[in-house]
Amino acid sequence: MADYTGFLCSSEYEEKAMSAFAYYIKRKIKWERFRLNGVLDERLERFLLEFDSKEFDTVELTQTGCPYINLPSSWDQYLTASLGPKTRRNVRRSFTEMENVDDLTVTVADKTNLVPQVDALLALWQKRWGSKQRNYLDHIHNVFESCHHNDCLRIMLLWDMNTPVAGVASFPDRHRQTIFEFFNCYNASYTQIRSPGQLAVAHNIRYAIDHGFQKYDFLRGDEKYKYALGAEERYASNVIILRKALGTKLRILADRGLARIERFKAFE
């Protein structure tokens, strides 16, 4: 479920732990290709040195965008310094429109309304992005309930009377003074206010600024709206480690051959 990953260990054992971890992967697990996805950890390069080039090849794949915003101390400063003229104008207009529509309200999940708020958000998300397997949605429910129990969940929804218009699920990390946005969604058929999805995210960013958070982390994905809202570039690494063995090389060649055949069939 993690959007990006890294190493977890006590700092005083870091070197020994990393070597032991690499040894276990190399000698105790049977594999031909070992994939590391979405690693956002400066120690990755050190870890890869454990895989000797005499036995292993390391292939670096296209990196994954993980943009974030360094938050200023005030909302007005954010609007002025972080946004371009067009986005700044749109955000201000959206907030003004929200204030002028009588039936528009914002709710935040708490212990009294957590389940219906989560249900409404996931239903809105399904409507926007299509159906998902039931067990996946159940798992999301469990994650949200656990995070709420540990005071690291924020779900906000924008409503027009009883109709959810847009919403954001995020994970506040007060120790790191960072809010991690898990996902946002909106009702594409709603036209009473402009850009309801952008408005919901901007509302969440304003909450983060007003409550002293220093960073707004969009997690994985380089969607344009994140950069329009002031995000900076940052990338997670994707790496494949290959054993230098005849069987591995033959399998790779076979995979490449199948891929060429599929492309040829598609062309036909």
Q: For 132-189, what is each residue's pLDDT tens digit?
A: 667 778 888 899 999 999 999 999 999 988 889 999 999 999 999 999 999 999 988 8
What integer is the mean pLDDT of 114-129?
89
| Res. 252 pLDDT band, cuts 50 70 90 | low
| Res. 244 pLDDT band, cuts 50 70 90 | confident
Neighbours of 264 (CB within 10 A): 9
| Res. 256 pLDDT band, cuts 50 70 90 | low
Pick the range with the lowest mean pLDDT from 40-54, 77-91, 131-145, 219-233. 131-145
- Residue with structure tokens 């000797």? 52
- Which two three-digit tokens encode residue 127? 């409507």
Q: What percent of the chain has pLDDT over 70?
A: 90
In this predicted structure, the answer to whether residue 267 has a pLDDT above a threshold of 50 is no
pLDDT in tens, 140-152: 889 999 999 999 9
Say what the pTM is. 0.84
Altogether, the residues listed in the chain come to a count of 268
Pick the range with the lowest mean pLDDT from 215-224, 229-238, 248-257. 248-257
Which of 71 and 259 is assigned the larger pLDDT?
A: 71
Contact 220, 181 (CB under 8 A): no
Q: What are phi and psi of 117, to 5 degrees?
A: -70, -45
| Res. 246 pLDDT band, cuts 50 70 90 | low
The pLDDT of residue 260 is 61
What integer is the mean pLDDT of 124-139?
78
Contact 236, 63 (CB under 8 A): yes
CA angle 106, 111, 117 (to 5 degrees): 45
> At residue 129, what is the residue type?
W
- Which two three-digit tokens encode residue 184? 């946002």
